[in-house]
Amino acid sequence: MKLLLLLGLVALAQCHVSRVPLKRMKSLRQTLREHGLLERYLREHPYNPAAKYLGTGGSAEPLQNYLDNEYFGTITIGTPGQQFTVLFDTGSSNLWVPSVYCSSPACGNHDRFNPSESSTFVATQQSVSIAYGTGSMTGFLGYDTVTVADLQVTNQIFGLSQTEPGDFFYYSPFDGILGLAFPSISSSGATPVFDNMMSEGLVEQDLFSVYLSGNGQSGSFVLFGGIDSSYTTNGITWIPLSAETYWQITMDSVNLGNQPVACTSGCQAIVDTGTSLLAVPTSAYNNILAALGATTNGMISCQSVSSLPDFVFYLNGNAFPIPPSAYVTENDGYCTVGFEGLNMPTESGELWILGDVFIREYYVIFDRANNMVGLSQLS
């Protein structure tokens, strides 16, 4: 599947909507912790995904690795909970799922939220429209209880799609998207899920961390509120954010081995779990293909892969290498580079997108308390 790239967010707010207070219920995790029973409960329930993360202070959401292209997990919305698979996307900020009011073909073959079957749903008259690089949705906003991992987020605003044009979402293995970027880029001003986790005191630390497996293997996760030290044995390098929109950082330069190949005067990059490849400005993309000896459509001789050097991304004065085994993909005897040309202009210039090709090489910590990204190279 083509990568999911956020090109823009368009809000169509028809009227101001006040937050409607709902009675907040304590989660099972909170209740057990207050009575000193949490660790015992997790040990006695080995199939609880959070059991693996005892001592991390976090709540884990396991992610399914779909062909190394997309990573999605399961959430519930409403009372009783209606189940959905969603892409956990650090390159956007809205939560939305298909609704029973959607007649697009993309909704017909996915799970759809039915507000009439939730006793805690609160409707609004506010519309929402979100455009991604490979799909879009329009619909309206509502409030309900959303459960992610073992965290119950009350009064969470989310989008209910009424249209999903085109065929991208029709063929997507997930139902909707859960954005993990900043409120400043949220369509219609909807509060992101992680912001509500923080404000409702559901996480012990105002951060989340991500591990993405490779080669179709299992084990991927988002850990809300904690850092799993078993993934940081090589230490953590912290990089300050350059903007609180996407998870945006300043990149010093990009080398192919020891030779500068792009971003020679510095550039801006975002760390985006919702993008499959390394998306770079078109001019840089052409330079990279030429330096690799690849064709204009990214094809490269499989025999040459073993002799290719690392790509090295310099961030905050530190080198972050990506080996050819990570940036070249072989399929049926054909090899392609894991780069895509994309012009994504912002006030600070064209953005580079460090997608899953990059993230699979590092355990990534997204720190909202200090507005930093932490990277730890995986062994």
CA–CA distance, 25 with 120 (Å, rounded to integer): 12
Q: What is the DSSP string of 59-104?
A: EEEEEEEETTTEEEEEEEETTTTEEEEEEEETT---EEEEBTT--S
167 is catalytic: no
Q: Where are the domains of the chain?
A: 6-224, 232-377
pLDDT tens for 228-285 read: 999 999 999 999 999 999 999 999 999 999 999 999 999 999 999 999 999 999 999 9
CA–CA distance, 324 with 232 (Å, rounded to integer): 23
Let me know if the fold of 6-224 is the same as that of 232-377: yes
What pLDDT does residue 35 have? 63
What pLDDT does residue 159 have? 98
Domain 6-224 has CATH 2.40.70.10: yes
CA–CA distance, 204 with 8 (Å, rounded to integer): 32
What pLDDT does residue 346 have? 77
89 is catalytic: yes
Per DSSP, 378 falls in state -
CA–CA distance, 125 with 20 (Å, rounded to integer): 13
R_g of the chain, CA atoms, integer Å? 21
Q: What is the DSSP string of 136-178?
A: EEEEEEEEEEEEETTEEEEEEEEEEEEE--SSHHHH-SSSEEE
Catalytic residue among 89, 195, 310, 356: 89
Q: Which CATH number fits domain 232-377: 1.20.1260.10, 2.160.10.10, 2.40.70.10, 3.40.50.2300?
A: 2.40.70.10
CA–CA distance, 32 with 42 (Å, rounded to integer): 10
Q: Which residues of the chain have pLDDT under 70?
A: 1-56
pLDDT tens for 205-221 read: 999 999 999 999 999 99
What pLDDT does residue 349 have? 79
pTM of the model: 0.86
Catalytic residue among 68, 195, 272, 367: 272
